[in-house]
């Protein structure tokens, strides 16, 4: 996955064992000055469009996760591997509904809901919710209606 570099050199090594609130706090300390601007404006996501054009990613889908976290999460949450049944996305259902500090199990529940209910309508809803979230306005995606 392509992204602009927003963290100090070797930050991945220092951040490796952390996630949740601790990862968020430590990531703030590891950001470069320009990295803070890129993340705040979401411009750090732009290079991922190359992955979409290559067919490695979709615009909407479960966000990719670092391999070290993935292996650990598959041990902690046995059904975590099921996220792999669809292409990862630049944006996802979980990103529009919950915060980074939520548990991995909570994020998985939203990813699995998206995978189970995916449709053109839901894809568009997630895109619109992402635009609203990036623009700093509007609510998150509402769950699909059961009709």
Query: What is the DSSP annotation of 32-68?
Result: -HHHHHHHHTTGGGTTHHHHHHHTS-EEESSPP--HH
The pTM for the full model equals 0.77
**pLDDT for 80-115, tens place per residue?**
888 889 999 999 998 888 887 788 888 889 999 999
**pLDDT for 46-62, tens place per residue?**
999 999 999 999 999 99
Q: How far apart are CA 49 and CA 34, in angstroms?
A: 20
What is the predicted pLDDT for the residue at 147?
A: 43
Please report, rounded to a whole number, the percentage of residues in the chain having pLDDT higher than 90.
Answer: 36
| Residue owning tokens 């966000």 | 63
What is the predicted pLDDT for the residue at 139?
A: 53
Confidence of residue 138 (pLDDT cuts 50, 70, 90): low
What is the predicted pLDDT for the residue at 140?
A: 54
- Residue that wins the pLDDT comparison between 14 and 146: 14
Please report, rounded to a whole number, the percentage of residues in the chain having pLDDT higher than 70.
Answer: 92
Q: How far apart are CA 132 and CA 15, in angstroms?
A: 30
Is there a contact between 111 and 88 (Cβ–Cβ < 8 Å)?
no
Burial status of residue 42 (CB atoms within 10 A of its CB: 0-12, 13-18, 19 or more): middle
What is the predicted pLDDT for the residue at 110?
A: 92
């Amino acid at each position: 996955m392509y992204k602009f570099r927003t963290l100090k050199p070797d930050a991945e090594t220092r951040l490796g064992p952390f996630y949740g609130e601790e990862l968020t706090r430590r990531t703030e300390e590891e950001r470069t000055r320009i990295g803070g601007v890129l993340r705040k404006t979401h411009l750090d996501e732009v290079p991922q469009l190359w992955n979409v054009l290559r067919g490695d990613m979709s615009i909407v889908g479960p966000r990719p996760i670092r391999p070290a976290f993935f292996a650990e999460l598959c041990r902690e949450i046995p059904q975590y591997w099921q996220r792999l049944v669809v292409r990862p996305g630049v944006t996802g259902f979980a990103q529009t509904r919950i915060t980074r500090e939520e548990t991995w199990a909570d994020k998985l529940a939203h990813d699995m809901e998206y995978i189970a209910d995916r449709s053109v309508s839901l894809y568009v809803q997630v895109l619109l919710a992402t635009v609203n979230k990036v623009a700093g306005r509007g609510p998150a995606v509402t769950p699909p209606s059961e009709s």
